[in-house]
């Protein structure tokens, strides 16, 4: 899951529940919350607020028409919101990454390069190093380590990945921009 603020997490958790009820969402948010109020306003305006011109059959026709239109509006809104949810929720990418790791392949996820060494160790390395070689200090190496660690912790929020990593020792390495073989930091977490 991508990094989100508190409002984004509320949306994410709420939509996770709503997305399982597509037709109910389209009916409630489209037909009832959008179609019915618009139908009532249209009916009132069309009859110029004259009670004697308001007939039940005309009202039902307007409500049914706007209800059907509202249903399609609700479906369209559902699809739009679900696309946003799918961009935020990268569970499919993580599941394919877990399969890559199980088969012995290297997996690149955001700034992380993850591969399995031995049967009990996952090696997590940084793909990017944000500082020039002349600027490398202990503080900058620690900053890079913390950024990589935060990326890894955010990845562990995915329940499937967290479950997968429970059986492994995690080894985190930080490399600079050069092609050096020796890491700047090598820690087991």
pLDDT tens digits for range 36-66: 999 999 999 988 888 777 888 999 999 999 9
First to last CA, the chain: 21
Q: What is the mean pLDDT of the chain?
A: 83
pLDDT at 186: 78
Q: What percent of the chain has pLDDT over 70?
A: 88
**What is the reported pLDDT for 30?**
94
Tell me: pLDDT of 79 over 70. Answer: yes
Q: Using CA atoms, how far apart are residues 91 and 87, in angstroms rounded to an integer?
A: 10
Q: Which residues of 124-151 are buried (b: 16+ CB within 10 A; e: fewer)?
A: bbbeebeeeeeebeeebbeebbeebbeb
| Beta strands at 112-117 and 107-109: parallel, antiparallel or unpaired | antiparallel
List C-alpha distances in Å: 104 to 36, 112, 116, 171: 56, 16, 6, 16
Q: Name, of 68-72, 88-92, 138-142, the range with top average pLDDT.
A: 68-72
**Taking the domains of the chain in order of start, what are their residue ranges?**
6-89, 92-188
Q: 91-112, pLDDT tens digit by residue?
A: 677 888 888 888 888 888 877 8
Longest Cα–Cα distance in the chain: 88
Residue 125 region, left (φ>0) first, then alpha (ψ -120 to 50), else beta?
beta
């Amino acid at each position: 899951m991508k990094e989100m603020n508190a409002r984004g997490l509320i949306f994410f958790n709420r939509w996770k529940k709503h997305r399982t009820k597509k037709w109910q969402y389209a009916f409630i948010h489209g037909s009832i919350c959008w179609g019915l109020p618009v139908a009532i306003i249209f009916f009132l305006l069309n009859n110029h607020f004259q009670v004697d011109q308001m007939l039940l059959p005309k009202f039902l026709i307007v409500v049914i028409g706007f209800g059907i239109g509202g249903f399609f509006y609700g479906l369209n809104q559902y699809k739009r919101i679900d696309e946003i949810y799918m961009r935020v929720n990268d569970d499919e990418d993580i599941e394919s990454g877990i399969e890559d790791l199980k088969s012995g392949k290297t997996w690149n996820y955001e700034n992380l390069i993850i591969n399995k060494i031995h049967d009990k160790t996952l090696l997590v390395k940084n793909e990017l190093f944000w500082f020039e070689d002349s600027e490398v200090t202990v503080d900058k190496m620690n900053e890079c380590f913390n950024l990589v660690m935060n990326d890894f912790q955010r990845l562990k929020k995915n329940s499937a990945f967290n479950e997968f990593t429970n059986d492994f020792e995690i080894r985190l390495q930080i490399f600079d921009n050069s092609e050096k073989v020796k890491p700047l930091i090598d820690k087991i977490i």
